[in-house]
Copies of this chain bind each other. A is one copy, B any other.
């Protein structure tokens, strides 16, 4: 049996009007790609039965599987289930088990269940029902004449877990092969420079494939093998990872590690180290990112966001002469901030950022000039960065890149400790 193809059809006037970003399509697309299911089209249509029917007919003329999101709510304008069941000539019938779960959901959340919520327990006849653990609307799959319609709720926090725990296992039954991926995370090298180094490998590999994904200031390489059984994947993937390490290993900061903050927190945990942050232009972004990671409290001591010069002196012990002579945006100030927060907190490693995130030049220092420092007692390092970007988002961009450098320095210092 060949791998199937799918389309994603998101239903909701609020997406058409641009009121919400369609993250559902991205989430589902990624899951299908991992499963090896080809997706050639995504579409969005409003809560309109006629247009929905047309879109459904078109989608099934091009693909085996159509996955819809949205329109499963309790109100009169939620029409996906009715319309799609009608498309397949099926009735909606009350599913007692779903009704019980909806009633239980309301009991647990202490809210009153209204009559229209009952509508959500009526499901297309003979469908496969997917339980909704984060809301009231169940999802379902309808199989007919070699086609499959999968109906999922619209809210991402309901759709995501249902897709992960119900839809992926359901769909994997139809696939001959599974895709197994490992993600290699790089920092300090651009996407095109990394591609240049790995060009032969990337264009020459078919199984596994090697594909780059850029995100702000970072590059991820995904190595993906297509195998019959998951346990066959390492034999294909590991040698390619070895080659990548040989060609660009100095920029690789982790494998399957998610992001810089997770890598940094894990490295600190592993060594039993504590860190502290001192921030100026990033305004708390470094500590915010570190404390996103579950378990950060075991390794993160404190963060000081010293926006004014007085606070840099008073709290972090940056010397008055340093500020007077070199200014707050200086190599010297960054170094003293890192040392200062380390001393103040008693942490093993202090990391500091000071710079000008714009929009205006200050102290005659250009926008985008940032100093990032780390101090672990054993090692001290200061980086000078000139981060350029000429648009409305420049401020957030500069702050994000600067915070990534700080996390990367922290990770390095932890690894070398």
Identical copies of this chain, number: 2
**Known contacts A22-B22, A42-B15; A283 and B291 CB within 8 A of each other:** yes
Chain A, 269-300, CB within 8 A of any chain B CB:
277, 279, 281-288, 290-292, 294, 296-297, 300
A391–B39 Cα distance when bound, in Å, is: 28
Least Cβ distance of A271 to chain B in Å? 18
With a CB–CB cut-off of 8 A, which chain B residues contact A306? 302
Contact with B along A120-154 (1 / 0, CB 8 A): 00000000000001100000000000000000000
- Inter-chain contacts of A263 with B (CB < 8 A): none
Measured between alpha carbons, how far is A283 from B390 in the docked complex, in Å? Answer: 30
Are A29 and B42 within 8 A (Cβ)? no
Inter-subunit contact A395/B292 (CB<8 Å)? yes
Q: Give the shortest distance, in Å, between A25 (CB) and chain B (any CB).
A: 7
- A301→B311 contact, CB < 8 A: yes
Q: Does chain B have a CB within 8 A of A396?
A: yes
- Interchain CA distance A257-B290 in the complex, whole Å: 30
Which of B41, B345, B396 contacts A55 (CB under 8 A)? B41
A157→B391 CA distance, assembly (Å): 7
Residues of A40-72 contacting chain B, CB below 8 A:
40-46, 48, 51, 55, 58
- Assess the B39–A41 pair: CB atoms within 8 A: no
A16→B40 contact, CB < 8 A: yes
By the criterion CB–CB under 8 Å, are A395 and B294 in contact? Answer: yes
Which residues in B have their C-beta under 8 angstroms from that of A395? 292, 294
A150: min CB distance to chain B, Å = 16
Task: Tell me, yes or no, whether A169 is within 8 Å of chain B by CB.
Answer: no
Q: Is A19 an interface residue (CB 8 A)?
A: yes
Is B22 within 8 A of A18, CB to CB? Answer: no
Contact partner, A20, options B26, B160, B282, B345, Cβ 8 Å? B26
Cβ contact within 8 Å between B284 and A305: yes
Chain B residues within an 8 Å CB radius of A291: 281-284, 305, 307, 399
A134 to B391, CA, bound (A): 7
Q: Which residues of B contact A44 (CB under 8 A)?
A: 25, 41-43
- Which of A27, A288, A392, A393 has its CB near the most chain B CB atoms (within 10 A)? A288
Interface residues of A in 305-354 (CB under 8 A from B): 305-308, 310-311, 315, 344-346
A21 CB within 8 Å of chain B = yes
On whether the beta carbons of B285 and A288 are closer than 8 Å, the reply is: yes
How close is A253's CB to chain B, nearest CB, in angstroms? 20
A28 part of interface (Cβ distance < 8 Å): yes
Q: A1 contacts the other chain (Cβ, under 8 Å)? A: no
A residues 201-241 touching B (CB-CB < 8 Å): 213
**Min CB gap A41→B, angstroms:** 6
Q: Mark A405-417, 1 if CB is under 8 A from B, else 0.
A: 0000000000000
Chain B residues with Cβ under 8 A from A285's Cβ? 284, 288
Residues from chain B with Cβ under 8 Å of A302 in the complex: 304-308, 311, 315
CB distance from A281 to the nearest CB of B (A): 8
List 9 A–B pairs whose Cβ atoms lie within 8 Å, in order of A's numbering. A18-B32, A21-B23, A22-B22, A283-B300, A292-B395, A297-B307, A302-B306, A304-B305, A315-B315
